[in-house]
């Protein structure tokens, strides 16, 4: 199990706490420090059953400045997330071949 986490994010901290309260241990990946590779993001997107554009935080300043209104391929959006990891929606909990975005945080409990 993997938990893509931003410790500065309240929703991410809340989701992690819910998992810990259930005794669920997972590899915690602080994705702003340890940026996922293209292949890792493709794998997560497949497990989420999402298009790359749907995983973007579109209210981020960097999105509005650099990407708003652009029509990019999934691969190009993944490259954008690698270049600017704060664009990646959080938290993401991966368990086996399934993943979920923890919004609201309780959604992570769907995979345990």
Identify the CATH number of the domain in which residue 57 sits.
3.40.30.10
Residue 43 banded pLDDT, cuts 50, 70, 90: very high
| CA distances from residue 47 to 50, 90, 97, 98 in whole angstroms, order as listed | 8, 15, 6, 5
Total number of domains constituting the chain:
1
**Cα 90 off chain centre by:** 4
Can you give the pLDDT at residue 106?
Answer: 97
Residue-level pLDDT at 67: 97
72 within domain boundaries? yes
- Range(s) of the domain holding residue 75: 2-107
* Whole-number pLDDT of residue 1: 96
Q: Write the pLDDT tens digit of every residue in 61-96.
A: 999 999 999 999 999 999 999 999 999 999 999 999
Do the domain assignments include residue 29?
A: yes
What residues are labeled active site? 9
Tokens linked to 31 = 């994705």
Instruction: Tell which phi-psi region holds residue 28, choosing left (phi > 0), alpha (psi between -120 and 50) or beta.
Output: beta
Here the tokens at position 53 are 């554009």
pTM: 0.95
- Find the mean pLDDT for residues 33-51: 98
Tell me whether residue 112 is in a domain: no
């Amino acid at each position: 199990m993997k938990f893509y986490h931003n410790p500065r994010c309240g929703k991410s901290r809340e989701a992690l706490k819910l998992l810990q309260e259930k005794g669920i241990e997972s590899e915690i990946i602080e994705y702003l420090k340890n940026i996922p590779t293209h292949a890792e993001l493709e794998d997560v997107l497949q497990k989420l059953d999402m298009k790359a554009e749907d995983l973007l935080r579109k209210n981020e300043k960097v999105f509005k400045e650099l990407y708003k209104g652009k029509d990019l391929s999934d691969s190009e959006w993944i490259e954008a997330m690698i270049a600017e990891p704060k664009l990646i929606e959080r938290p993401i909990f991966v368990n086996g071949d399934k993943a979920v975005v923890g919004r609201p945080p309780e959604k992570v409990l769907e995979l345990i």
